């Protein structure tokens, strides 16, 4: 595909945090994902990366996705995924589970108003 062909792929603009692992750079790094498509993402922050490096991104609700750094411009960079993902899954609300913080879970059901402590 030419650069113009890549620009025709649908992207979702969003702002989520993700973890990034880069081949040759130790540790996980927090990045800000600015847009996401089935084939890749644009992010900013994290370590200095170089075009062609293998990368893994922990995309919310999707999990770890392998790809490679496709381009770098200042503090922003693009990662092309090895396999397509469904970007709608990353945009969905966080599922309730053991690790879901209390403030994002639904309210408690069947609680008597008199049993609650007043602040």
| Segment 2-30, tens digit of pLDDT | 454 455 556 666 788 999 999 989 999 99
**Distance in angstroms (rounded) separating the CA atoms of residues 115 and 63:** 40
Answer CATH for 3-92 from 2.40.10.220, 3.30.460.10, 3.30.413.10, 3.40.50.620? 2.40.10.220
State pLDDT tens for residues 37-80: 999 999 999 999 999 999 999 998 899 999 999 999 999 999 99
pLDDT of 50 reads 95
User: How does residue 1 score in pLDDT terms, banded at 50, 70 and 90?
Assistant: very low
Residue 35: burial class (beta carbons within 10 Å; 0-12, 13-18, 19+)? middle
Which is more confident, 48 or 106?
A: 48
Question: 67 forms bridges with which residues in the sheet?
Answer: 55, 81
**What residue ranges do the domains of the chain occupy?**
3-92
């Amino acid at each position: 595909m030419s650069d113009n062909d890549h620009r025709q792929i649908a992207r979702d603009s969003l702002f989520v945090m993700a973890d990034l692992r880069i081949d040759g750079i130790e540790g996980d790094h927090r990045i800000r994902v600015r847009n996401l498509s089935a084939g890749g993402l644009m992010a900013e922050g994290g370590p200095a990366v170089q075009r062609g490096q293998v990368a893994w991104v922990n995309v919310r609700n999707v999990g770890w996705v392998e790809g490679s750094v496709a381009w770098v411009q200042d503090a922003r960079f693009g990662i092309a995924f090895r396999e397509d993902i469904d970007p709608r899954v990353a945009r969905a609300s966080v599922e309730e589970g053991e690790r879901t913080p209390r403030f994002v879970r639904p309210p408690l059901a069947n609680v008597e108003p008199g049993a609650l402590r007043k602040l």
